[in-house]
Amino acid sequence: MHVGSIDWSATTTRRWPIASLTSAAGFGVRWAGFVSASLSQTYTFSVSMPEHDQASAQLPSRIKLWIDNQLIIDQWSSLTHQSPTGKVTLDAHSLYDMSLLYKCPTNSSAPSASACQHTLNWKSGASTRSSVVPPHAMHQRIQMDSRLGELRVAGGFGCVSTTTASGSGLTLATAGVYSSFTITSRDAYGNPRDSVQPFYPQLIGTQNSPLYGGFSAPLAPLLGTSLASYVAFEAKQYQVFVQQAGGDIKGSPFALTVLPDRACGSTSTLSGSALTAASLSPAINTFSLQARDSFGNPRSDLGVEGEAFLVRVVRTRSPNTQGALHGGLPGFSGSTALADPGDIPTLHASLAVESGMVKGNYSIPVIPSPAGQAHYIHSSWIQRGGLHATYYSADESASTAELPMPCSQCHATHKFPETVSSGGVSTRPATLDSALVGSASVCGSLSCNLVIRWAGAIRACSTAADDSTCLGAPSYTRDFKWTIAAADRVKLWLDNKLVIDQWSSLSVSSPSGSVVFGNAGKVMDVFAEYQRLSSDVLSSAPVELRDTGGDGSFQLIHSMRLYRTEDLQDSPTYINVYPT
C-alpha cells in the first residue's frame, strides 16, 4: 500500500488509480495494510491535500487515519487543517496495522489540476521536516479465510523420563513366539511426538544370561507410537530394558516372565530305573517324565487341551522290536507280538503331576507268566486331530512286514486326514493326493498295488454329555467295521492286538472286530493297513472305518478322538523283568 502522491484529478483515466472513480462524481477510498519503521521513535503522520481551500471551502475533503488501532487523525466532520497530523510511537522493525479513510466530495464542474490529491507523510523524533512515507515502510495485507482454523502444536524433543511403554509383552511371553508392546515417545511435557527414533529393547536373563535384542517400527496413525517386538527362546525371568540416547524410559527395566511353549515329544524325556529294569506285581515300577517344549524348556504339566503323554509297556515274544520296521511304532500282532489268549499285549502306565514333576508307574502281572517275553517301554507325546498316514506301492503277495519305505517323490508321506476315512472320499490316487498319479507317483507310469498305513492313537468315548463325537451312551467294548471294495484288504490293531485281519482273503464285505477299552476316555495305540489292488486302484468305491456307540449303531471315527504321536527321546527302551 502506498498512498503517497495519490492523484485522482488526472485529465485522462489512464493516470487515475481506478478509472471508474473521478472527482466529478465524488468517491471514498479506504487504504489498509501495515506500516513499519526502521527506528524506535515517536512519529508524526500528516496528510496533505493541496486542493483544499479553507476560505472558499472548495472541495472539502475528509480524512481519518488509524495506526495500531488508534485514531490519530480525525478530520471527517470538518477539515480544520490542510495537512492534519497525529502522533504515535513505533518500535523498530515491527508491523503495525494502518488504515486510512479518504473522501473526495462531488464536483460537477471540470476537476481542477489538484482535485482529490492527497499525500501521506511522516517525520520522526524532533525532526522538523516531513517526507512521504516510503513504499518499503508500507506492507500489503492479504485477508485470509475468516472462518475459524485449527492450530496444531507439535510435541517437542523426546524425553526419556516421560516416554512410556505398555502391553502384555512387557511382562509375559512364550518361548519361541514373537511378543510385542507399544512405546509412546513424549516430550518433557508429556506430549506425544510427531516423529520417533527407533527403539531397540534388550532382554537380559537372570544372572545376565541369555541376552536377546528386539526392534521397533512406527505404529501409524498413532502419534509418537512404535510397536516393539522380540522373541526369546529360553523360559526364565528377564529384565526388559527400553532406552533412548542411553537413558531408560519411564518404568524401564521391566520384569518379564517367559513361559515354555507347548510340549514337544522329541525333546521330552523319561528317567528312572524302571526304564530298563522292572519287578513283577505286586511291585510298582516308577519313573519320572520331564515334559519339554521344542526349545528344551521344562514344563511341569501333562500338556494343554488336546495334548497328552502316553507311556505303555509293549510285550512281544521276540528280542527284536517289531515296530522298529515302521519307524519305531509299538509292536503289533501278526508277526512277533503277543496274540495268545489271556495275554495282555500292552500295559498302560499311570501318570500324575506331583510337586511340579510328572510321575509315572506301571505293574507287570505274574499271570500269565512273562517268561520268554520281551518287554519294551514306549513313551509318546500325542496331539489330537488325526492320524499319521504313509503311502506305499507293494507287490500283491508281499507280507505287511516286507513293504518298502515311502517313495521319495510322494509329498503325501505326512498326511493328516480328518478321520481314518470319511464317507464320500475315494481311495482313487487323484483324490488322495496328486503326487500319487503320473510318472512321479508311487507307482510311476505303471499300475501297482496301493497300500496306506495309518498309525497313532485313539481315545474311547467318555460320557454322552461331554463328548459330542460319540453317538449314544459310552460303551467300553466297541465294535469296529471296515467298508471297502470287494478286492480290498484290511488289518486293524488296537493296543498291539489284531482286531480285524482280512488281508489274505476277504471272507465278508464289511469285516469287523471288537476291543475292550476298559474305561471312559482311555487312549490306545491304533495301527491300520489298507490295500487296493492295481486292478481297482482307480475305483471310486469308498473306504471307511467305523465303530459303534452305546446304541449299537456304527459311526465314522471323528478326528477329535484320533491322535498323532511323537516319540520321546530314546524311546523305546528294553526292560529286564525280574521276579519279585
How many secondary structure helices (H) and strands (E) does the chain include?
1, 40
Q: What is the CATH number of the domain that holds 425?
A: 2.60.120
Strand intervals (E) in 298-387: 298-299, 307-316, 346-348, 350-354, 357-362, 374-384
Say whether both 116 and 202 belong to one domain: no
Stretch 183-199: mean pLDDT, rounded? Answer: 87
Overall average pLDDT of the 326-337 stretch? 51
Do 176 and 35 lie in one domain? The reply is no
Of the pLDDT bands very low, low, confident and very high (cuts 50, 70, 90), residue 28 is: confident
The CATH code of the domain that includes 82 is 3.90.182.10
Say what percent of the chain tops pLDDT 70. 70
**Count of structural domains within the chain:** 4
Domain housing 111: 13-140
pLDDT band at 436 (very low <50, low <70, confident <90, very high): very low
**Mean pLDDT over residues 309-337, rounded?**
61
Residue 74 lies in a domain: yes
Q: Evaluate if residue 415 carries a pLDDT over 60.
A: no
What's the pLDDT at 117? 77
Q: What is the DSSP string of 140-202?
A: E--PPP-S---------S--TTT-EEESGGGTEEETTS-EEEEEE-B-TTSPBPSS------E
Give the C-alpha separation, 349 to 225, whole Å: 54
The mean pLDDT of 84-103, rounded to a whole number, is 92
Q: How far is the CA of 111 from the CAs of 7, 81, 195, in angstroms? A: 11, 21, 66
Give the Cα separation of 31 and 34 in Å (integer): 10
pLDDT digits (tens, 9 = 90+) for 505-518: 777 777 888 887 77
Which of 169-183, 343-357, 416-430 holds the top average pLDDT?
169-183
Length of the chain (residues): 580
Asked whether residue 224 falls in the same domain as residue 177, the answer is yes
- For residue 343, give the nearest of 367, 321, 323, 322 by alpha carbon: 367
Residue at 504: amino acid letter: S
Buried b (16+ CB within 10 A) or exposed e, 25-37: eebebebebbbbb
> Has residue 240 got a pLDDT over 80?
yes
| Chosen domain end from 241, 259, 277 | 259
553 in the same domain as 460: yes
- Do residues 187 and 158 make contact, with C-beta atoms less than 8 angstroms apart? yes
pLDDT at 351: 92
Which has the higher per-residue pLDDT, 224 or 278?
Answer: 278
Cell of 84: 492534519
Domain end: 384, 409, 429, which one? 384
Are residue 539 and residue 392 in the same domain, yes or no?
yes
Domain shared by 217 and 253, yes or no: yes
| Residue 27 located in a structural domain | yes
| Band of pLDDT at residue 438, cut at 50, 70 and 90 | very low
Judge whether residue 173 has pLDDT over 80.
yes
Task: Tell me if 337 sits within 8 A of 331, measured CB to CB.
Answer: yes
Mean pLDDT value across residues 178-197: 89
* Pair 367, 505 in one domain: no
Same domain, 176 and 196: yes
Q: Which of 148-162, 425-439, 550-564 has the highest mean pLDDT?
A: 148-162
Q: Which of 259, 277, 310 is the last residue of a domain?
A: 259
**Buried b vs exposed e over 189-214: b needs ≥16 C-beta within 10 Å?**
eebbbeebeebebbbbbeeeeeebeb
- pLDDT digit string (tens) for 111-144? 555 567 788 899 988 788 888 999 899 998 887 7
Same domain assignment for residues 372 and 471? no
Q: What is the pLDDT of residue 439?
A: 47
Q: Is residue 380 part of a domain?
A: yes
> Would you state the pLDDT for residue 251?
94
Mean pLDDT score of the chain? 77
The answer to whether residue 44 sits within a structural domain is: yes
Per-residue pLDDT at 100 exceeds 80:
yes
Q: Which of 253-267, 270-284, 337-351 has the lowest mean pLDDT?
A: 337-351
Summarize pLDDT for 449-482 with one digit per residue, the tens: 677 778 888 888 765 444 555 655 555 667 777 7
